[in-house]
Amino acid sequence: MVEHQSGPGAAAGPGALSGIVVADFSRILAGPYATMLLADLGAEVIKVESPSGDDTRSWLPPVRDGVSTYYLAVNRNKRSVALDLKDPVDREAAQELARRADVVVENFKPGGLARFGLDYDTVTAANPGVVYASISGFGSGPTGASLPGYDLIVQAVSGLMSLTGSPSGEPFRAGISVFDVMAGLHATIGILAALSSRHTTGRGQHVEVNLLSSALSGLVNQSSAYVAGGVVPFRMGNSHPSLFPYEPLPCSDGDLIVTAGNNGQFRALVTALGVPELADDPRFARNEDRTARREELRPLLVERLRTRTTTEWFHDLSAAGVACGPINTIDGGIAFAEELGLDPVVTIGEGSDAIPSVRNPITFSETVPEYRRRPPMLDEHGAEIRRWLATEQQERTA
């Protein structure tokens, strides 16, 4: 069994990962998102930055108190230490941190940390229990390792952009770096699985995640359409290839998302709309019929929806058990979550230093997520981390 390593200033808390030390050598989004989730669950995450800091610190606007909101989004609950890996003293400190860590997370180009003695083989030789997670764009193979792993490129080459946008228009990227986030989630799952395995075997392992593999997995029914069915999907705007209705439909003052995933839901929809006979119309009786004849069915639904506002239909259809929703901007999405009692925003810190942040989406009955620290300033905890590492080195060599 592997003894948990205690980090600087670590205190046992209610978090499920309390006592786990994470050496975070990652930057930008996928890695920092993964390590923030681990930190929310109680892990002690030490964010190692270059002297110039994580690139997202300068990704402006928007800002809050001069700090990039992009950086704030994925770096709460961490401590920051600035280390120049080209400097022998700083490099030794980084190596000591990796030796002490339960988890190492990095998203350098594959093999990029070897020259600093921070690659998996070197780290695991000194720390055989370590869970070492590597996130790349295209894997560690001889061809993929040399390719830059930007989310936008992966959206393009994976096929996602070919599915996004108007059928008659150009391909579009998703509104967020969706595969960075997805890879971060996959990395988190891999890390937790490896920690569970270590609990049994006492051995760590190398967890590898790449954006393209995450993308192809995350394309789910669309990638399966080709792999299992030989069908190459195409852009359908807001329409669904296998369901109808499952898209925005116009009301008197705007569009409302209206869905019917099965025959019962379709019957509930048309009954609430005042045209229950459509549920028994042989043209629309089954989902495959509705999907094939969507151009016939759509105007019949729109005719009824245009008689009232999106708000009125949203409340009435929801009361009838029909899944639907308005198309909000982000502020509306936050407000809607608040109306539902989901408490989407948490405040970290107090007074002028307080930072609002989006709540961790996981709830636990016992080991609740914690919001202990606002995202750190560059090297904010450098002195205490260096002292801790120096003390550990002295004790080991004594």
Instruction: State the catalytic residues.
Output: 180
- Considering Cα of 5, then 6, then 7, then 12, what sign does the dihedral take? positive
What backbone torsions phi and psi does residue 241 show, to the nearest 5 degrees? -70, -20
- Find the radius of gyration of the CA atoms of the chain: 25
Token match 């950086």: residue?
71
Q: Which two tokens stand for residue 27?
A: 């930057």
Partners of 257 in the beta sheet?
248, 325
CA–CA gap between residue 38 and residue 21 (Å, rounded) = 10
Could you give the residue ranges of the DSSP H alpha helices within the chain? 30-40, 69-73, 88-100, 120-126, 151-158, 160-163, 178-201, 211-218, 220-227, 263-273, 287-292, 294-305, 310-319, 330-339, 382-397
Handedness of CA 266, 269, 271, 273 (dihedral sign): negative
Cα–Cα distance for residue pair 348/345, rounded to 1 Å: 10
Q: How far apart are CA 96 and CA 183, in angstroms?
A: 27
Q: What are phi and psi of 207, to 5 degrees?
A: -105, 120
Q: Under a CB-based contact definition with an 8 Å cutoff, are residues 164 and 171 in contact?
A: yes
- Locate 12 and state its tokens: 């046992």
Q: At what angle do helices 211-218 and 151-158 cross, to 10 degrees?
A: 50
Sign of the dihedral through C-alpha 249, 250, 251, 256: positive
- The pairing of strands 78-82 and 44-49 is parallel
